[in-house]
C-alpha cells in the first residue's frame, strides 16, 4: 500500500513546474531604473491604468526612419524601448519573466499599425526570448504591408530568427505575458495562464548556452510609420505595460491543482494506514 502511494506521488511530482524557478516581474511603479535600448520612444512615463501601475510608451512618426538623425536612420532603430537588469544576484537555473500588456479595442481590432513586446535576455546579449503583440500589420518588419483588422501574439525563435504567430486568449484590458525557461532547453510562453507556445532544444552548444542565466528585461516597441505599403507617414500610438501580481503567470496556477491531488492522495494514505493499525489492535 505504502509503495503504491509513493509511486503515485512520484508520478504526479514529475508533472509539476520547477519549484526552484526564480520568478522575475517587470518593475513598473516608476521609470527609474530603466535605460533606453536602441532608440528612445517619443514618450515614456509612469501612470496608473485600469487599477495598475504602468509604464506608458508613445511611439510617433516624429521618430520614424525618415525623421531620425544619422547614425540612427536605419531600420535597427525602428525598435525603440527600454531595458533593465533584474537578475542582480546572478542566480542561475530555471526562471520566469512576467509582465502585463494593456490591449485596447482598437489594438485588438487591428486598426493602428503597432507592435509592443516583452523580451527576456540571457547572459550579455546572448539569447533573446520575446512575446510580441502585433496589430494592424501583416508582419513585424518595416515595409511590411498594413493589415487592418489583424492582430496576434507572436513568439520569436532566437535560433532560427523566425517569428511564429500563435492563437491566444487575448482580450481587451490587461493581459499577462509570461516567459518560462526550465534552465536547460525548453521555453514556454503563457498568455493569461494559458501555454500558447513551446520551444524545445533551445539550449546547449547548438542553441543558447546561457539559457539558465536570465539577466535583463526589455520592453520594446516598433515604429512602422513612413514605411509605405499602406502605413501612415504620420501618426502615433501608445503601449502600456505593468508588473503582474505574483502568482498570475502561467507556471504558477497549475501548482495548486497538483497540490490538491497530492493532498487527496495523502488523505487516502493516512486513512488506509489508520484502518490497518485499527485492525492490528482488534486482532
196 vs 14: which has the higher pLDDT? 196
Best-predicted range by mean pLDDT (10-19, 133-142, 254-263): 133-142
Average pLDDT of the residues in 244-253 = 41
Percent of the chain with pLDDT over 90: 66
Q: Tens digits of per-residue pLDDT, 126-171?
A: 899 999 999 999 888 888 888 999 999 999 998 889 999 999 999 9
Angle between the N-to-C axes of helices 2-14 and 254-282, in degrees from 0 to 180, rounded to the nearest 10:
180
User: Is the separation of the CB atoms in 150 and 110 below 8 Å?
Assistant: yes
Q: Which residue(s) pair with 48 in the sheet?
A: 53
Q: Per-domain residue ranges for the chain?
A: 1-17+252-283, 20-250
Tell me which fold the domain 20-250 belongs to: Jelly Rolls (2.60.120)
**Which strand (E) or helix (H) includes residue 6?**
helix 2-14
Q: What is the mean pLDDT of the chain?
A: 83
Q: Compute the distance between CA of residue 234 and CA of residue 248 in angstroms, rounded to an integer.
A: 38
| Confidence bin at 244 (pLDDT 50/70/90) | low
Sign of CA dihedral 123, 75, 69, 230: negative
Q: How confident is the model at residue 245 (pLDDT cuts 50, 70, 90)?
A: low
> Which grid cell is 100?
502585463
pLDDT of residue 268: 38
Three-state helix/strand/coil letters over 134-186: EEEECCCCCCCCEEEEEEEEEEECCCCCCEEEECCCCCCEEEEEEEEECCCCC
Residues 6+ apart with CB under 8 A from 121: 83, 127, 128, 214, 215, 216, 217, 218
Rounded to whole angstroms, how far apart are CA atoms 91 and 76?
31
Amino acid at each position: 500500500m505504502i509503495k503504491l502511494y509513493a509511486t503515485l506521488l512520484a508520478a504526479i511530482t514529475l508533472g509539476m513546474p520547477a519549484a526552484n524557478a526564480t520568478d522575475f516581474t517587470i518593475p513598473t511603479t516608476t521609470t527609474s531604473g530603466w535605460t533606453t535600448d536602441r532608440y528612445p520612444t517619443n514618450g515614456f512615463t509612469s501612470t496608473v491604468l485600469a487599477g495598475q501601475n504602468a509604464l506608458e510608451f508613445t511611439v510617433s512618426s516624429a521618430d520614424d526612419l525618415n525623421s531620425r538623425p544619422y547614425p540612427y536612420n536605419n531600420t535597427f532603430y525602428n525598435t525603440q524601448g527600454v531595458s533593465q537588469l533584474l537578475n542582480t544576484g546572478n542566480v542561475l537555473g530555471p526562471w520566469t519573466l512576467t509582465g502585463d500588456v494593456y490591449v485596447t479595442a482598437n489594438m485588438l481590432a487591428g486598426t493602428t499599425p503597432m507592435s509592443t513586446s516583452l523580451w527576456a535576455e540571457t547572459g550579455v546579449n546572448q539569447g533573446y526570448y520575446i512575446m510580441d503583440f502585433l496589430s494592424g500589420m501583416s508582419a513585424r518588419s518595416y515595409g511590411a504591408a498594413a493589415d487592418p483588422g489583424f492582430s496576434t501574439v507572436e513568439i520569436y525563435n532566437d535560433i532560427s530568427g523566425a517569428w511564429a504567430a500563435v492563437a491566444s486568449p487575448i482580450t481587451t484590458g490587461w493581459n499577462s505575458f509570461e516567459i518560462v525557461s526550465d534552465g536547460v532547453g525548453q521555453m514556454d510562453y503563457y498568455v493569461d495562464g494559458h501555454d500558447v507556445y513551446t520551444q524545445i532544444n533551445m539550449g546547449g552548444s547548438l542553441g543558447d548556452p546561457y539559457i539558465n542565466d536570465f539577466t535583463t528585461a526589455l520592453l520594446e516597441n516598433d515604429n512602422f510609420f513612413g514605411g509605405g505599403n499602406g502605413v501612415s507617414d504620420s501618426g502615433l500610438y501608445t503601449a502600456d505595460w505593468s508588473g503582474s501580481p505574483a502568482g498570475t503567470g502561467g507556471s504558477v496556477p497549475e501548482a495548486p491543482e497538483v497540490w490538491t491531488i497530492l493532498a487527496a492522495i495523502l488523505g487516502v494514505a493516512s486513512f488506509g494506514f489508520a484502518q490497518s493499525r485499527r485492525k492490528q489492535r482488534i486482532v
